[in-house]
Structure 1
Amino acid sequence: MLINQDLAAFMASPVMIILGTRDDALVPEIARAVGAVVRREEGCVDLAVSEWQWSKTVANVRANGQLAVTFARPSDYVSYQVKGHATVASAAAEHVALARRYIESMASTLGELGLERRVVAPWLVERDLVTLCLSVQEIFVQTPGAKAGQLIEQFP
């Protein structure tokens, strides 16, 4: 599976990254990632996540591997969702560096939209980072409007 180059660039840009998981009782859990590395050729996305802050999300991925990730640009809410199977790995040095760059970039981006750093700081945490390695199986448009929810790619 090959992730479209434009979508890969969008997912790696300063966008909000919202994670959705569920436990075995189908109780949903939401979290945020602090950066994404898109491995286009492999059809995978590595997501930097604070296990300290989002322990239930990480536990859900460990338990069942199901993960949905929404990438939303805060200036206009252009959004895409990718779904697939994920595993949890230790954060490599590149993921720690990515998280730090992402946090600075998102704080700046959101600041330009009027949100003070003290407001967004609780969303952007790099403590006890792990990497969620997502093998993308489906891609959806999530931008509000007539195409919201439309499947644009599906892979076996």
Structure 2
Amino acid sequence: MLAWPAIPPEHLAQLQRRVSIMVASRDDRLVPHLVRGLGCRLQDEPLRITVLLSARGSEQVLDDLRCSDRIAVTFSEPSTHRTIQFKGRGVDIRPGERADRELAAAYAQRLCDEIVPMGYPYPVIAGLLAHDPFQLVAVSFTPEASFDQTPGAHPAGPSGAA
């Protein structure tokens, strides 16, 4: 069995902040695809990250994830530009449930609260996050590595080995 680097607690803490979520995949030709996430949650023991997507508009990413079982997700806090990327496997895709719909609604409000003070109109940000709550899918995965992708004068690199 492969030994993967430990995920630093400060990287996992990023998931609890008011972050923009982007989910990336690739097809069998290595062509990347990207879609906006609509919320996330963290599970301990075993460590799993779940991101919410709208099924409508995410078809290619979902197809890629089913075929490759590889995912990359970035969590970026707009006011600070702090960005952490997670890469993982063990992708499980299931229909969203009531708790997921509530999580997505709360996430949208938190992200609006983060971005609107920066001068962006509320309707623009809310429109960016608009989705049919009954089209949500929950994509869970096991993170295998995390990377600090924050812009600045430091190298972006993987988390340290445990």
TM-score normalised by L of structure 1? 0.89
Q: Which runs of 5+ in 2 are unaligned?
A: none
Do the aligned partners of 1:17 and 1:71 also contact (CA within 8 Å) in 2? yes
SS in 1 for 2:141: strand
Q: Which runs of 5+ in 1 are unaligned?
A: none
After superposition, residues 95-106 of structure 1 pair within 5 angstroms as 95-106=100-111
* C-alpha distance 39-3 of structure 1, shift in aligned 2 (>3 A): farther
Bigger Rg, which one: 2
Q: Compare relative contact order (CA 8 Å, sep 6+) and give the higher one, 1 or 2.
A: 2
* Aligned partner (choices 131, 135, 141) of residue 134 of structure 1: 141
* C-alpha distance 133-153 of structure 1, shift in aligned 2 (>3 A): farther
Give 1:153 shift: 4.4
Q: Which amino acid aligns with 2:158?
A: L
Give 1:14 shift: 1.1
TM-score normalised by L of structure 2? 0.86
In the alignment of these two chains, the number of paired residues is 155
What percentage of aligned pairs have identical amino acids? 25
Structure 2 distance, partners of 1:104, 1:88, is 24
| Residues 1:152 and 2:152 are matched in the alignment | no
Give 1:108 shift: 2.0
In structure 2, the partner of 1:51 is: 55
Structure 1 distance, partners of 2:84, 2:69, is 20
Do the aligned partners of 1:103 and 1:124 also contact (CA within 8 Å) in 2? yes
After superposition, residues 1-156 of structure 1 pair within 5 angstroms as 3-85=7-89, 86-127=91-132, 128-153=135-160
Give 1:117 shift: 2.3
Give 1:12 shift: 2.3
Structure 1 distance, partners of 2:59, 2:39, is 17
